[in-house]
């Protein structure tokens, strides 16, 4: 019932026993993952298979991690996340293929009433007084680079091929193939062939661009 409310984007009870059990299981698995060594690949993959809703091949998460539900997060192929990944996935979080996250990236989906009294108590349809919240899903497309210490807020969609600058707070949708940065995050410009590393021989050095 509460899961259905989450998906519908309406107020739900985060203290519901079933939801609390899901979160407790995942929080404990976070600790298990964070107590592994980086080269304990099989052990780490086994833990992630118990945490995540789904994920593709080639996934690597540096750790430590902090997933809230875990099962509401779906990750594509060839995902890399640096230190301190936090995903508060009350609502669904979807991450596409070939995405790279810098350290300290945070994705949040839950929202709370703005009025202080309403954060403390709301009367439910069952006549009970409870603390309720709601949540909005987050979607990140394919081939995105999310810089260090970026926070992605509830309800945001980031299109394919985006680069989000370090320290940004993303509160609105970001269109595909753009560089966006800032607090709040805004589109700076489109990403074009002018950005190719081929145009920077001092950085390319003796390497080569692979032509498609």
Q: Name beta bridge partners: 151.
A: 106, 169
Distance CA 204, CA 199 (A): 8
Omega before residue 11 within 30° of 0, cis: no
**112 annotated active-site:** yes
Say if CB 139 and CB 94 are below 8 A apart. Answer: yes
Joined together, the tokens standing for residue 202 give 């001092």
Helix (H, G, I), strand (E, B) or coil at 96: coil
Distance CA 110, CA 155 (A): 9
Give, in order, the Cα–Cα distances in Å from 152 to each of 12, 30, 59, 112, 140: 21, 21, 20, 16, 10
Say if CB 109 and CB 134 are below 8 A apart. Answer: no
CA angle at residue 9 from 116 to 150, to 5 degrees?
A: 75
Q: What are phi and psi of 75, to 5 degrees?
A: -125, 140
Return the active site residues.
112
């Amino acid at each position: 019932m509460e899961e259905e409310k989450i998906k519908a984007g309406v107020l739900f009870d985060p203290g519901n026993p079933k939801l609390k059990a899901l979160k407790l299981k995942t929080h404990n698995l976070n600790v298990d993952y964070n107590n592994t060594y980086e080269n304990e690949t099989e052990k780490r993959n086994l833990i992630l298979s118990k945490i995540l809703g789904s994920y593709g091949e080639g996934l690597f998460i540096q750790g430590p991690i902090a997933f809230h539900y875990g099962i509401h997060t779906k990750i594509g192929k060839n995902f890399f996340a640096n230190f301190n990944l936090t995903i508060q996935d009350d609502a669904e979080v979807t991450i596409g293929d070939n995405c790279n996250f810098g350290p300290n990236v945070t994705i949040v989906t839950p929202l709370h009433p703005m009025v202080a009294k309403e954060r403390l108590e709301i009367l439910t349809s069952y006549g009970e007084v409870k603390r309720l919240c709601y949540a909005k899903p987050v979607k990140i497309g394919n081939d995105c680079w999310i810089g260090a210490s970026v926070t992605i807020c509830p309800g945001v969609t980031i299109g394919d091929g985006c680069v989000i600058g370090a320290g940004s707070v993303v509160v609105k949708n970001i269109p595909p193939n753009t560089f966006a940065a800032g607090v709040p995050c805004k589109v700076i410009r489109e990403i074009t062939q002018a950005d190719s590393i081929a145009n920077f021989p001092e950085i390319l050095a003796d390497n080569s661009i692979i032509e498609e």
